[in-house]
Structure 1
Amino acid sequence: MNPPLVRVRLVRPSSSAEDRLPRFPRGDPDAVHEGLREQEFGAWAGLPMAEVAGEDPAGLRQWMADTAYAPPGGGESVEALVARVGVHLGALAPGTHRAVAGQGVVRAAVVWALELPAAAFWRLDVRPGSVTMLTGRSGRWNLLVGQAENPDRLPE
């Protein structure tokens, strides 16, 4: 008998033209999946990347090179984000879960599920409107790569 299966469907919202500007989103919580809220960016939250690059170029470079570095003002490091998302995913009850999640959360979920080094976070691109499926059983997670013809009807 197989252990119960956990299936997580992470949907990245589609973006309007304004949302396509590189910026640091605010970590708004999801009522059901609070552990899958976007990364906390501290003093950088809500700012365009160009503004952060102009005001804190050394901090931005360090954040993109050192996964243990947290943005100033209460920000969260990539390593902390991966750990938080992993704790949330690891605690999910068997069944299918759906969450709308930002690019950073999807990246963190894949890094955690596949036990990749934190630096792999920067090597993953997540397109707006995409669906990422993770399935887990007995502490082992798999990534479903590719999109089904009908993303609302995914394989069991």
Structure 2
Amino acid sequence: MSKNVFLFIAPVTLNRCPESGSTEARWFTNGRDHYFWSFDPSGSTPLSRRTCNILGLPKYRTSISSMVHNLFDYQYEAAKYLQEIQGFDPLTQDYARFCGLPLLEMFSPLEHFHLNDLTEEYQGALDAWSDAKETLSNMSDSESVYEGASSQLQNVFSNSVSDSQC
């Protein structure tokens, strides 16, 4: 019996729709799992699930997701300036399209519900979020004002939105 066990992971491809610019992630599999174990370094003979369980090999859950990273204000300003000096409008996806980057379709969480459907509690949370965001945008750009505030407000708002969709 071989001492080496090899993990093979199915490749992921990104297909861009030329009409909409949206990107589809597709995981190529052999009709089974997104990964398999093998004693063979070429992967020509996958191990059965039963054998993997007997050997105590780890099981993996696979997923594809986009990640959101918050940047400091000066980073957004630098990206905006870079696009402007190269002749692009930072409010469009023209620069991303020019660079060959995947285009994302943005939507607001408010599109999923109507304000009239909100309970009084959720309406209060939405009002507080709007008031706080407006207050922060009217204040100075010092880090002490903004530090952590945006993520806290987003958490309050996203909890209210997800609870109202149940």
Q: Which has the higher helix share?
A: 2
The alignment's TM-score, normalised by the length of structure 1, stands at 0.23
Highest relative contact order (Cα 8 Å, sep 6+), 1 or 2?
A: 1
The alignment's TM-score, normalised by the length of structure 2, stands at 0.22
Q: Which has the higher strand share?
A: 1
